Amino acid sequence: MKLPVGDSFAGEVLRNEGSMSDAFSERMRLIRFRRKKERILLREEVKIVPKWLVWTCVILWLAAVAIGVLVNLSGVNGPMFPEQLAGRPVLASLALAGIITLLSAMAAIWLMALGYVYRDAKRRGMNAGLWTLLCVLLSWPFFAIGFILYFQVREPLPYPCPRCSTMVGARFNFCPNCKCNLHPSCPNCKREVAETDKFCPYCAQELTRRQESGPELTRSAE
Ligand SMILES: [Zn+2]
Ligand SMILES: [Zn+2]
């Protein structure tokens, strides 16, 4: 029996060096791999934003336009805005309504994005409150950085088990229904590999894909 002593020793040294960053980058690789399989449709994603939030935004926008235009026309606030259109109340009202709509749209997009993050984090089993708070806190002065961060690191969605199609969480190690190994590892270097990898990305070991041969028949213990 020939043992690849030199190779495994080199592998050991490499593995011990910065195993922390290795574990992190490996985790990120798997998260990206899972997320790549998610079919994200904007039309479907928009539905996640709570309906009450959308209606609240619409009502607030209409109220803001109505109040703004009425106050402007009443003249309580001094001369009509914008001053160039002081003699033409209809045009002035339209201009003001346009400005209010623009500002409202920006505020509404921000609020709905927060609503999306909350619901999305929840269905991915992440800390929804914390992520929403982080997005709020980082919105100013670092415009949208919280959202960008969220989309980079968010956990994958639950996905169907490759063997029995039961929905399993991205953090599960085994399928609770059929005991399928959801995080297969390389038989040579023991690192986690993706189901679709034909060769181990770390040691080039050829990986056999048992999942494709269909459901494995396991005799029950009893
Ligand atoms: Zn299963
Ligand atoms: Zn390997």
Q: Give the tens place of pLDDT for each residue, 94-136.
A: 999 999 999 999 999 999 999 999 999 999 889 999 999 999 9
Q: Relative to the alpha carbon of 216, which ligand is closest?
A: 1
Residue 150 CA, ligand 1 centroid: distance in Å: 29
Q: How confident is the model at residue 209 (pLDDT cuts 50, 70, 90)?
A: low
Q: How far apart are CA 168 and CA 181, in angstroms?
A: 11
Give, as residue ranges, everything with CB less than 5 Å from ion ligand 2: 186, 188-189, 200, 202-203, 205
Q: Are 205 and 190 in contact (CB under 8 A)?
A: no
Dump pLDDT digits (tens) for 162-181. 889 898 887 788 999 999 88
**Distance in Å, CA 162 to ligand 1 centroid:** 7
User: Looking at this protein, which amino acid is placed at residue 192?
Assistant: E
End-to-end C-alpha distance for the chain, whole angstroms: 39
Ligand 1 midpoint to CA 214 (Å): 12
| 212 DSSP 8-state letter | G
Distances (CA, A) of 5 to 1, 137, 214: 12, 53, 36
Whole-structure pTM value? 0.69
Compute, in angstroms, the gap from residue 38 CA to the centroid of ligand 1.
18
Each domain of the chain, given as residue ranges in start order, spans 42-155, 160-213
CB count in 10 Å sphere of residue 157: 17
